[in-house]
Amino acid sequence: MNRFSIGIEQNGSVTSIRMISQFLGIPLFKVYSFFVDGLLIDTGFSNGKRGFLKICDELPTIQTVVNTHHHEDHTGNNFWLTRKYGFPPRAHPKTSSYMKEPWKWVKFYRRLLWGTPPPSQMGQVDSEIQTPRFRFLVIPTPGHSDDHICFYEPNEGWLFSGDLFISEQVKYLRKDEDIYSLLDSLRKVASLQPKKMFCAFSGVVDQPEEAIHRKIDYLENLKSGVEKGLQQGLSPQDIQRNLLGRGDRFSFITAGQISKRNLINAFLRN
């Protein structure tokens, strides 16, 4: 039984490449890469290497590869694409150090779901990327990771948001995410007033400015709820139950790396 599935969707000039990791045929986690006008944004996870490279063969010529951040479901096929096309992916300056020894930071459950990327050479992205028909501004957006960047095409209003947005209402957070930097980054991209967002988790998001503002409001309300709970003398566990409900299935699956508790604790770090 296949441990992953892969497919493509066309949205105007942008091709979405959707990869889903599976267990016993049950979809667990998905991630999108995007291709537009010779530019490939993110390279999926290494366990799906064969299918991903096959799709790359079917696309028009890839001229530039970029990563939104270093996580293994976004950089998994960097090495193979460098070998295939003869040039390294470009990313935030910090991404290079992560990609020298990926096995040091890829947790066990992530190795099972996505695989560990081979070490890969990286190039540093400039402040903008020019393709034959489009111009993409590089927007630093830390929070989900310290090396996270987004790509914005101002003439089209396209925002390629990596893992900055995810969804409007999240109940889980990675242990290493900085919620306050994430909020600042969301406000930054909302100010661009994007017309269409290409999210690595949710795919194509129409009316993204409104969606981003709703997420900001949700997180601000959650922050207020945490502060109110503290004033009432509640424990973090009680605050979590009140705001996010009982149960924390991702905490079990990921050994605490992704959990509701992390989301509550992220607000408590201030």
- Residue range 163-218, pLDDT digits in tens: 999 999 999 999 999 999 999 999 999 999 999 999 999 999 999 999 999 999 99
The answer to whether the CB of 113 falls within 8 A of the CB of 28 is: yes
Q: Could you tell me whether strands 128-130 and 135-140 are parallel, antiparallel, or unpaired per DSSP bridges? A: antiparallel
Inside any domain, residue 236: no
Average pLDDT of every residue of the chain: 95
Count of domains for the chain: 1
DSSP string, 91-158: E-TTHHHHHH-GGGT--HHHHHHT-PPPP---EE--SEEE-SS-EEEEEE--SSSTT-EEEEETTTTE
Strand partners, 150: 139
Inside any domain, residue 221: no
The pTM of this model reads 0.95
How far apart are alpha carbons 262 and 147 in whole angstroms?
20
Please write down the HEC assignment for all residues of 100-116. Answer: HCHHHCCCHHHHHHCCC
Give pLDDT, residue 43.
Answer: 98
Give pLDDT, residue 258.
Answer: 93
Inside any domain, residue 231: no
Inside any domain, residue 258: no
CATH code of the domain containing 152: 3.60.15.10
Inside any domain, residue 125: yes
Inside any domain, residue 129: yes
What are the tokens at 242? 């009140």
Inside any domain, residue 224: no
The amino acid occupying position 108 is F
Longest dimension (CA), the chain: 59
State the average pLDDT over residues 44-48.
Answer: 94
The answer to whether the CB of 200 falls within 8 A of the CB of 162 is: yes
Question: Where does the pLDDT of residue 262 fall: very low under 50, low under 70, confident under 90, or very high at 90 and above?
Answer: very high
Question: Where does the pLDDT of residue 24 fall: very low under 50, low under 70, confident under 90, or very high at 90 and above?
Answer: low
Residue 1 has pLDDT above 60, yes or no: no
How far apart are alpha carbons 49 and 56 in whole angstroms?
10
CA 84 to chain centre: 24
Question: Where does the pLDDT of residue 26 fall: very low under 50, low under 70, confident under 90, or very high at 90 and above?
Answer: low
The fraction of the chain above a pLDDT of 90, given in percent, is 87
Inside any domain, residue 31: yes
Range of the domain at 138: 4-207
Give pLDDT, residue 174.
Answer: 95
Residue that has been written with the tokens 């927007």 in this structure: 139
Element (H or E) spanning 250, and its range? helix 249-253
Give pLDDT, residue 2.
Answer: 65
How far apart are alpha carbons 200 and 164 in whole angstroms?
9
